[in-house]
Amino acid sequence: MGVIKEIEQFHAEMTEWRRDIHRHPELKYEENRTSDLVAEKLHEFGIEIHRGLAKTGVVGTIRNGDGPSIGLRADLDALPLEEKNTFKHASSNPGKMHACGHDGHTAMLLGAAKYLASSKNFKGTVNFIFQPAEEGGGGGELMIKEGLFEKFPVDSVYGLHNWPGMPAGTFGVGAGPIMAAADLFDLTINGRGGHAALPDQCIDPIVIAAQVVSTLQTITSRNTHPVDSVVISVTQIHAGDAYNVIPDSVRMHGTVRTFLPETRDKIPSSMLRVAEGVCAAYGATCELNYKTGYPATINAVPESEISAKAVVDLLGEDKIIRNPTPSMGAEDFSYMLQARPGCYVWLGIGPGKGEFGCMLHSSHYDFNDDVLPTGASYWATLVKNELPA
């Protein structure tokens, strides 16, 4: 039991790919070099390549006789962040950084592709999906809109994300919601401005905004089932530009996170009810602009069991964390899970391997190369189990 021996043998090569990608981070829909590198490697392994879905997306396909078809997905893009690490493979592109470990995801899926192309120990079709623009660009959604699953039909689709803080080489696997839906809102409160010394002649939108911010929290604490989870965060408040003037209006912006679609659907009307009610009490009005983002990432029950079995077959019962606490972060693999049944798992990388050991999206983050063979072996085991030879 443990990682697949043949994969372990090219650990050094996978580390090289990973560090090369880390050194050359590219932002959403500009992953040209990374996409070239992936295509070049897949070609080298003798895998059929399709390019151009969602601009920089790459799909590699191995057909090995009749059998089920599976999709395995990795993401290619980096973040607009200045890297503060000083090691040799630190970013050479100013203001861009692989701070979410997508370099590691790409290297692990390439590792699995290399192994499966030579072992061919399965019967059916494996599609290796390398998607652009996971970080706020909806690259996964765009690939689907451009016909991903018509061009590459799959019975099920699987994703993986590294997770700092979970012991290195362990997997978090659970059915149901694992990552949240992420929506945005703009809320404008319209009062009546005037002299700050004459508040009785004004409708002060700042006092009203303060009430609205705290009252919005009752949606999460009083209108939502206590076991369900909602986050409403007002993250920006803009108003006024003088010491002695009450402004006409206040603009607020923020984000809403939910897991259950039915809960998500109710939030805009709840927010409007609260904001309008508070405004009415003071004679003000408001406007809400609610923008839906990535949906929740929801794992199907059978495919979650399939993922769990692959982990246990590969590494044993003590390397799996079943039903980990979901994250309120978001992920655009959610669109693939809306289109096809599947499962998205977390792979622990231990205390982050950056210079300070830290979480995703930190300027000190680095992927932990020790787990590269573990991730690639997980993919290969999933294929072996689901597409039996």
The nearer residue to Ni ion, 100 or 383, going by C-beta atoms, is 100
The nearer residue to Ni ion, 54 or 213, going by C-beta atoms, is 54
Smallest gap from Cβ 134 to Ni ion, in A, equals: 6
Return the bridge partners of 252, or none: 187, 237
Smallest gap from Cβ 161 to Ni ion, in A, equals: 6
The nearer residue to Ni ion, 159 or 254, going by C-beta atoms, is 159
Per-residue tokens: 223:
């209108």
- DSSP string of 256-298? EEESSHHHHHHHHHHHHHHHHHHHHHHT-EEEEEEE--S--EE
Smallest gap from Cβ 106 to Ni ion, in A, equals: 11
Smallest gap from Cβ 162 to Ni ion, in A, equals: 8
Q: How far apart are CA 224 and CA 247, in angstroms?
A: 34
Smallest gap from Cβ 128 to Ni ion, in A, equals: 18
Smallest gap from Cβ 329 to Ni ion, in A, equals: 8
Q: Per-residue string for binding with Ni ion, 43-82, x by CB under 5 A? A: ----------------------------------------
Per-residue tokens: 318:
């003590």
Residues in 102-161 that interact with Ni ion by CB under 5 A = none
Smallest gap from Cβ 217 to Ni ion, in A, equals: 28
Residue 350 C-alpha from the chain's centroid: 19
In our burial notation (b when 16+ CB lie closer than 10 A, e otherwise), range 156-175 reads: bbbbbbbbbebebbbbbbbb
Smallest gap from Cβ 101 to Ni ion, in A, equals: 6
What letter does residue 152 receive in the DSSP assignment? S
Size of the site for Ni ion (CB under 5 A): 1
Q: Is 386 helix (H, G, I), strand (E, B) or coil?
A: helix
The nearer residue to Ni ion, 106 or 374, going by C-beta atoms, is 106
The nearer residue to Ni ion, 7 or 100, going by C-beta atoms, is 100
Residues near 350 by beta carbon (within 8 Å), at least 6 away in sequence: 164, 166, 167, 168, 368, 370
Q: Which residue has the tokens 């057909």?
A: 63
Residues near 5 by beta carbon (within 8 Å), at least 6 away in sequence: none
Is 171:311 a contact under the CB 8 Å cutoff?
yes
Residues near 200 by beta carbon (within 8 Å), at least 6 away in sequence: none
Smallest gap from Cβ 193 to Ni ion, in A, equals: 43
The nearer residue to Ni ion, 288 or 328, going by C-beta atoms, is 328
Residue 377 C-alpha from the chain's centroid: 22
Per-residue tokens: 285:
């009005």
Q: Per-residue string for binding with Ni ion, 170-189, x by CB under 5 A? A: --------------------
Residues in 244-263 that interact with Ni ion by CB under 5 A = none
The nearer residue to Ni ion, 204 or 366, going by C-beta atoms, is 366
Per-residue tokens: 374:
């573990």
The nearer residue to Ni ion, 117 or 173, going by C-beta atoms, is 173
Q: How buried is residue 268: exposed, middle or buried, by Cβ count under 10 Å (0-12/13-18/19+)?
A: middle
Q: Which residue has the tokens 């980096």?
A: 78
Smallest gap from Cβ 200 to Ni ion, in A, equals: 52
Q: How far apart are CA 86 and CA 100, in angstroms?
A: 17
Q: Per-residue string for binding with Ni ion, 79-108, x by CB under 5 A? A: ---------------------x--------
Beta strand ranges found along 203-248 (DSSP E): 230-238, 245-246
Q: How far apart are CA 186 and CA 167, in angstroms?
A: 39
Residue whose C-beta lies closest to Ni ion? 100
Is 298:147 a contact under the CB 8 Å cutoff?
no
The nearer residue to Ni ion, 140 or 177, going by C-beta atoms, is 140
The one-letter amino acid at 31: E
The nearer residue to Ni ion, 100 or 126, going by C-beta atoms, is 100
Using CB under 5 A, list all residues that contact Ni ion: 100
